[in-house]
Structure 1
Amino acid sequence: MAATLRFELLYVPVRRIERSRLYNPKNYEIGLIPSVNTHSLPSYQIRSNEENFKLLVSSRLKEEHQISALSVHSLATLSSKDRISIMYIVPTISTEANVGGIRFIDMFSLIQTPQLLGSHRELLLVIDQWLMERHSLPYSNPDLLFSTDSTGQSLVGIVQDIVDNPLLSIPSEPPEDKLIIALNNPVFVPIEDTTNF
């Protein structure tokens, strides 16, 4: 009997974040990670049919979120004992933007649960590979800082470069509803408006 995948989408549709004009008035799209319950699908089947599995998830995401195009190459899998996470990274409108002296190349959001993600190191390796392929980089070593906004959603900034900027003050505690981007030291970037669409 064929195994059946039961999707548990644990994320709202892709959101648009509008940044404070103090830094940059542009809008950026962020991606999403659904969770898939794999109790009925042994892990060896997932591994041997990973490409088909990604295509299936890609098709489901298009239906659920009315997204016109999803690149299968932008999907990565993170496995745990009985669950698998499918990561889709939506590129920013500008893949290289300078925000208050911070230059970042991609942003995405994720649901951060120890059971789902395993170690941060595993996630970093996946992101490293994705960045190298996407930007044709000979190597990649992104710095990430995990933060949670008021809705409980985890946000991640991938920072490529940072320059000294005396206008950027760094509080000891993260302010509410701020997106954290980090390289060596945390920088809190105000979010002017966060809406679902």
Structure 2
Amino acid sequence: MTPVLDLAGTFVFALSGALAGVRKRLDAVGIAVLAFFTAVGGGIVRDLFIGVQPAALRDTAYLLVPIVAAVIAFFWHPQVERAMPGVLVFDAAGLGLFCAVGTSKALHYGLAPMHAVFLGVCTAVGGGVIRDVLSGERPTLLYDRELYAVPAMLGSASMALLFTLGVQGFVATLSSAVLAFAFRMLAMRYRWRAPLARGVGERE
């Protein structure tokens, strides 16, 4: 994934974290913290599991982009909220890119395909889990009623399968990212929901 696409995905995730901070009536510092960890938390978790220095702690851009997103949300959150349908499209694209790239990086560091899929999902949704925990919300990953983690899992599994078949590089990354993106968009469009255990009703 090119740095431009990576930073674009980082910005969208940071914006969602900053908006969560605004909704929770956090101050400027709290909004910035949520923006940062939503954007790069998943990548940091992945790199720590792999045993390498997190990219987010080496490149200043990964600090500046969440700050920019936090500033935008702090001053112009009503306008950003109105643009949320468009933001959700970019969020789905970021989800697809991050799961594919996270899986690819894990595979190239020698992890088995199943473990690489796990880290790919962590890359895509880990920041959201940290955001939810810090803001006092039930993590989406543990209650995936809106099918957020499932598309990431599908994209990561596709990436691992293509790698096993000898298909690597841009083609594999793009194909897996598009698959996750398309599934996420369809889930939002048709309001697909993950099943609950038998006999368990919806929680309010």
Q: Do Structure 1 and Structure 2 share a fold, with TM-score over 0.5?
A: no
* TM-score between the two structures when normalised by the length of structure 1: 0.31
* TM-score between the two structures when normalised by the length of structure 2: 0.30
Q: Which has the higher strand share?
A: 1
Q: Which has the higher helix share?
A: 2
Of structures 1 and 2, the larger Rg is shown by 1
